[in-house]
């Protein structure tokens, strides 16, 4: 790239010098010096722009990219479960960075940073009793949704959080003991998350 720039500069200077020689009443040397100064200025700006583009390219390529989104694969009523159970979202829409494990339902942070997580939960008239889902970080409950069997036949809920994660921290959605959710081809029960920025 630099070789091309230098060759172009030399070629432009040569053309301008020849052009200046045919101009009447003007000092060829002073015109060439003026033009050379302008070309040098343009070359400096070009090199600066090339460096900025390269810096941006490095920034984008060097920034960790982490994002996932998945849905429960189970069709019908899932539960009631006898004990708290991590939901395994087996239909994976995306898993950039491979932080989400569809076998366990657990996301493991590949880098330290601020993350956004969201889940949705669906209950209907087929679900006996309650439907309680919580989002956990490691062994700590962050947020929850709760529903019981009432007058309305269908209920949809969800919750979200922005949380700091260390490398290796885990996040997962858990169905509470004695609770259940309902799912079908509509894929109402989802779990998603992504890295906002590293810290």
Confidence of residue 61 (pLDDT cuts 50, 70, 90): low
Instruction: Tell me which of 93 and 8 has the higher pLDDT.
Output: 93
Please tell me whether the overall predicted TM-score, pTM, comes out greater than 0.75 for this model: no
The torsion region of residue 54 among left (phi > 0), alpha (psi -120 to 50) and beta comes to alpha
Instruction: Report in angstroms the alpha-carbon separations of 28 from 11, 17, 51, 176.
Output: 17, 7, 34, 87
pLDDT digits (tens, 9 = 90+) for 12-30: 555 555 555 444 455 667 7
* CA-wise closest residue to 173 among 188, 156, 190, 148: 190
What local confidence, expressed as pLDDT, does residue 130 receive? 82
Cβ atoms of 53 and 4 closer than 8 Å: no
- Rounded CA separation 28/24 (Å): 9
In this predicted structure, the answer to whether residue 1 has a pLDDT above a threshold of 50 is: no
What local confidence, expressed as pLDDT, does residue 59 receive? 53
- Rounded CA separation 146/132 (Å): 4
In this predicted structure, the answer to whether residue 50 has a pLDDT above a threshold of 60 is: yes
Mean model confidence pLDDT for the chain: 85
Confidence of residue 153 (pLDDT cuts 50, 70, 90): confident
Averaged pLDDT, 50-59 = 66
What local confidence, expressed as pLDDT, does residue 30 receive? 74
In this predicted structure, the answer to whether residue 3 has a pLDDT above a threshold of 60 is: no
């Amino acid at each position: 790239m630099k070789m091309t720039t230098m060759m172009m500069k030399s070629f432009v200077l040569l053309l301008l010098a020849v052009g200046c020689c045919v101009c009447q009443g003007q000092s060829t040397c002073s015109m060439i010096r003026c033009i050379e100064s302008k070309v040098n200025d343009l070359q400096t700006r070009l090199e600066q722009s090339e460096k900025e583009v390269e810096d941006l390219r490095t920034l984008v390529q060097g920034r960790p990219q982490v994002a996932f989104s998945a849905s429960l694969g189970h069709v019908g009523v899932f539960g009631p479960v006898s004990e708290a159970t991590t939901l395994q979202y087996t239909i994976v829409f995306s898993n950039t960075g491979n932080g989400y494990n569809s076998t366990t339902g657990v996301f493991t942070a590949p880098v330290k940073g601020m993350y956004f997580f969201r889940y949705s939960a669906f209950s209907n008239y087929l679900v006996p009793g309650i439907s309680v889902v919580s989002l956990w970080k490691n062994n700590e409950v962050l947020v929850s949704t709760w529903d019981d069997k009432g007058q309305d036949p269908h209920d949809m809920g969800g919750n979200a959080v922005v949380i700091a994660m260390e490398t290796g921290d885990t996040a997962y959605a858990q169905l509470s003991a004695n609770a259940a959710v309902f799912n079908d081809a509509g894929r109402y029960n989802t779990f998603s998350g992504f890295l906002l920025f590293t810290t």
